[in-house]
Each structure stands twice: as structure tokens, then as C-alpha cells.
Amino acid sequence: MTEKTKQQKKQVNHWLKSQKKYAHGRLSRAIALGSLNGLLMIVQTAILAYLINLVIFASNEAGLNNGSSSNTLSNTLSNSVLTNISDGVIFTDITMISMALVAVILCRAALGYFSECYSRRGAMDIKTNIRSRLLNRLFQLGPAYTQTKGSAKVAHLLHQGVDSLEDYFAGYLPVIAYCAVIPLAILIAVFPIDWQSGLILLFTAPMVPFFMILIGHKAQRLNEEHWAKLQRMSSHFLDIIQGLTQLKIFNASRREIAAVKKISDDYGDETMGILKIAFLSSFVLEFLASISIALVAVILGFRLYYGDVDYIFALWVLLLAPEFYLPFRQLGTQYHAKMAGVSAAEDLIEVLNEPQIQVSQQDTFIAPFTINLVQAEFAYPERSNALTNVTIEFSSHGLYAVIGDSGSGKSTLTDMVLGFVQPNAGQVMINDKPLTSANRDQWLKHCGWISQQAQIFYGSLAFNVAMSDDYQDELVLEALEKSGLASFVQTLEQGIKSTIGEAGAGISGGQAQRLALARVFYHQPDVLILDEPTSHLDQQTEKIITSSINAYAKNHIVIVIAHRLHTVIEAKNIIVLEQGKVIESGTHQSLLNHDGYYAGMVSL
């Protein structure tokens, strides 16, 4: 392991331990209750040893020596028990001790229950806090970061990644504390009565964590590879689901089914490999603990035979021996939870440690707007420039079209206008004020954006337009009419109150796109950005939508990423991109006269 890797591991472990404060003291209470439970275990074994000694040996001695004049302490106790039994007294010594034992057992059960409740609740509080911070950070970073990172990886991190921390905080951390408290308390109890057994426990105890760490190094590497493979598998599976239509169209679904099956089988084999390591480590820990307990039992047996130790003390030490190794065996079990938590935490820290964005509430933007990209450049990590030396102006109002081949930088350009990505060089100016990550949220209040895949939520038609349950029916109906959905609404029994399923279930793709446009017409953003708004539409509806967009552009800035060139003929300015550079711009007619790239596309 390199020095850099060791440093990263230390940082991850330090970060994980620093999250305990978000449990609001619940983890500390859980550890305190668990430790008290361990101390009561020592008392319980002492009572049990005394009870067994009292029942077996004292009673036998009383029976053998009945009538004897001996006045030893053992005979006195035994005769007392027998006398009480013969007199029919309910609360004998044995009964009282048994009741005390039951009370301790019940007390331990209650402590164990509340300790587990506190630890799980504390872990849930920590998960909630981490998930909340993670979501806030993702919202700050914007959709461009999510696309770069991979939506499947981000979703997996938000759910399974955060959930894998529960066993770390609720299981691993408390057991670490128990390993420091309970064995030490047992040694303190054992040494005064039997120092030989205490030495055996003391010298065999380090062997358990030593072998656990020895096996754990290999398991840690396998677990990290397993985590990375799971993330890749999640991304691959999401890509297949999203492209299911295309796979069916090109008759490639069976091939992908076979690929998914192979990937799943490989993942299963790797999971079994990790389980083998887990079972091996558990076996080794159990074996070492069993050998150590057996060694204590054998030595105690010989010493008991020669009369070097009293039976009651030998029995107590023998009962304590398994409990001495129990926290270490639990640590071996929870060590795998620690490895899973560390693997997930590395990716969590990567997102949470992204540069903090200080949001400014003072910067305000007032319409009308003039948007200027001044020699703006942007490049994604490990890729060539998506935009190079782009200088464009979107002023006051009007329809602006951005066209170009796939990968020419159209989406990056609109992301830059929205503030989702910041230029590596140059600036984006809004009314001569630089657009930065700090004032992006204020700017987005004036913007509307519709992607090729419109996002439709479960709820009523009106809710999806107004994005709220508080809306005006007239404005909703007006927006639906502008988007060409008026006739569709008339066919619904409940009209705008009709319910739509998640992701637009129950309506067509074209209707979903028009519903997203109705949302824009309802909210009236000053700047509207559309990614091929007439996709999935028939010619008649396309004319209606194009007419509505042109009318909207008379009083607002509308930027359209266009593939159907006949829909942007009336654009105020058509910007042509090629490999991240603006190669020409102008009106439809001026570009035709220029007889360049645009003219060639129109003639196709």
C-alpha cells in the first residue's frame, strides 16, 4: 500500500468518525448501555457460578453430614437451605439467588434492546444528514456534474452507498468500544482470584485482532473491487433500461440480455469470493477463541483436581472466558461492515469535498436581459474542448437557434447560459454582470428549460403545469391551449384534474413534451431554453407549437437547440456550431446567401 493510499485511508476513517456528532449523542448512549450490559454480564456469571455451587455441592454436603456437629461455613449454609425447605419457607437462599439471576438477565435484555435502538436510531440520523448534504451538494453542482459523474453512479451512491454506512455506525463503532471496555473489566475481575487464567486471557487476546487484520487486508481489496464493479453494473443496467426502445427496434435485446446475464454471473462469483473470505475469517476467529477457552478449561481442570483453586472461582472464570472473546469475535463479524462503509465513504467524500459554492442572495437580475458569452471556453475532464473561444450575444428578446452535429457543443452552450457549467476561460455576462456559481440560483429564477425528455410527475394535469396545488384554472387552460393540448383536455372526464402517472404514464411522448411546454407558458420565464421542442410531434401539432414559441419569443429570449431547420426559419439569429466553435451565425436568409455549412444542411 502506497503512502498516498494510507493517507487517504486515514482521511476516510477520520471523516467517518467525525460523523458521530450528527447522531446527537445516541451512539454514545448506545455504547454506554452496551458497556453496562457487559459489566452486568460479569455479575450474572458470578451469580450463576455461586448458584450452581450452592445447589450441587452445598446440598450434597448437607445430606452427607446431616446430624453432624461440625459447624463449618459450608455446612451452615447447606443446613440452612435444607431446613428452610423442610419448613416450607418459600424464599430460600436458592430462590432468592435465582430471582436475582432472573432480574439481572431481564436487566441485560432491556439494556441490549435500548442499546440496539439507540445505535440504529443514531445511524439513521447520520445517514439522513449525509444524504441531505449529498443532495444539497449535487443541487449546487448542477445537472452537468451529475451527467459527468453518471446518473446511475450518483443514484447508487445516494441509496446503497449511504445505506452501507448503517452497519458501520450501528455495529462496528459500538463493538470497537466494547472491545476496549468488556475484556478489560473481565481481566480486572479474573486476576485477583486466578492470575494464571488471567495471563492466558491476556496473552491470547491479541491473536484474534491480529489474524482478523491479516485476513482483512485481502478482504478490503476485494471489497473495493466489488464496490467499483457494482457501480459499473448499475450504470450499464440503467443504460440498457433507458435504451430499451432502441434495443427492441434493432433486435438487439437478446444480445443485451445475454450480456447482463454474464455480468450478473461474474458479479455473483465475485460476491461468493468475498463471502469465502468472510467465512474464513469467522472460522479463524472462532477457532482461536475456542482453542483459548479450551486452554483455560484444561488448566483450570488440572488446578481444580490438585486443589489449587476453589470450584466456585474456577467455574466463574470458565463462564467468563467465552464472554472475554465475544467482543473480538463480534469485531471480526463487523469488520466487513467497516470495509463496506469505507469503500462507500471514499466516493461520498469525493462529492462532498467538491469546492463549496457560496450562494449570494444579494445579486439580483432584472429583465430585460442581455446575455453575452465573451471568448468562453469549456472542456470536460480528460476530453478535448467542448467550446472554444465562443462569443455570442442574446439580447432583449427574440428567437435564437443553435444548430450543429452531435457533439458540436450545443448542450454545453445552453448549460453555460444557465450557469450549470462555468467557463474555463472567458465569461458569461448577464446585463454586464458576470454569471457565477454564487449567483446562479438567482439567475435560474428567470429561466426555463425543457430537455428532449420532458419530466412529468405523478399528479393531476394542472399540477404538472403549475408545479403546485395552488393554481388558477384559467391560466392553466390558457397554457394548455398554447401548447396544443386543449383538444386532449376536452376528451378527459375530469379535465385538468385528471391524474397522470409517473414519468408521463397514460399519455404519449408528444403529449408529455407539450405538457412541459404548457408548464413554460404558465410560468412565463424571461429566458427560455428548448432542446428540440417539436420532437415526437406530428406536423399539425408542430405548427401549433412553433407558432406559440414564435409568439412567446416576441417578448422573451428563446434559445432553441434545433434539428428540424424549418422550425427556426424565423429565428432572429441562427448560430452554427462545429467541434465547439461558432463557424457562422445570422438570419436564415443571410446564411443561405453565405452558402456555407447552414446552406448545405438546408439543401439536404
The grid cell for 536 is 415526437
The CATH class that applies to domain 19-352 reads mainly alpha
CA–CA dist 175, 128 (Å, integer)? 22
Q: How many CB atoms lie within 10 A of CB 489?
A: 18
Contact 76, 70 (CB under 8 A): no
With 70 as the cut, is the pLDDT of residue 352 above it? yes
Q: Which of these, 76, 163, 152, lies nearest to 123 by C-alpha position?
A: 163
- Mean pLDDT of the residues in the chain: 80
State pLDDT tens for residues 472-510. Answer: 888 888 888 888 788 888 888 888 888 888 777 778 777
**For 109-129, what is the mean pLDDT?**
92
Strands (E) across 297-423 are located at 369-379, 385-396, 398-404
Higher pLDDT, residue 334 or 90: 334
Burial category of 246 from C-beta neighbours within 10 Å (exposed 0-12, middle 13-18, buried 19 and up): exposed
CA contacts within 13 A on the Cβ side of 175: 21
Query: Considering only 90-94, 114-118, 139-143, which range has the smallest mean pLDDT?
Result: 90-94
**For 275-280, what is the mean pLDDT?**
71
Q: Which residue has the cell 484474534?
A: 208
The CATH class that applies to domain 369-603 reads alpha beta
Contact 59, 81 (CB under 8 A): yes
**For 336-349, what is the mean pLDDT?**
79
Contact 281, 335 (CB under 8 A): yes
Residue 70: per-residue pLDDT:
41
Q: Which residue has the cell 438477565?
A: 105
Residue 78: per-residue pLDDT:
46
With 80 as the cut, is the pLDDT of residue 582 above it? yes
Residue 87: per-residue pLDDT:
41
The percent of residues in the chain predicted with pLDDT above 70, rounded, is 87
Residue 74: per-residue pLDDT:
41
Q: Spell out the residues 6+ positions from residue 112 whose beta carbon is closer than 8 angstroms to its own.
A: 33, 34, 37
Q: Spell out the residues 6+ positions from residue 559 whose beta carbon is closer than 8 angstroms to its own.
A: 394, 400, 401, 402, 414, 417, 527, 528, 529, 530
**Coil, strand, or helix at residue 399?**
strand
**For 239-249, what is the mean pLDDT?**
74
DSSP string, 525-567: -SEEEEESTTTT--HHHHHHHHHHHHHHTTTSEEEEE-SSGGG
Domain boundaries, the chain: 19-352, 369-603
With 80 as the cut, is the pLDDT of residue 238 above it? no
Task: Say whether 369-603 and 19-352 share the same fold.
Answer: no
Query: Considering only 60-74, 238-252, 349-363, which range has the smallest mean pLDDT?
Result: 60-74
CA–CA dist 515, 484 (Å, integer)? 9
With 60 as the cut, is the pLDDT of residue 182 above it? yes
Of the spans 112-126, 264-278, 420-434, which averages the highest pLDDT?
A: 112-126
With 50 as the cut, is the pLDDT of residue 68 above it? no
With 70 as the cut, is the pLDDT of residue 190 above it? yes
Residue 363: per-residue pLDDT:
64
Farthest CA pair distance, the chain: 132
Higher pLDDT, residue 594 or 282: 594
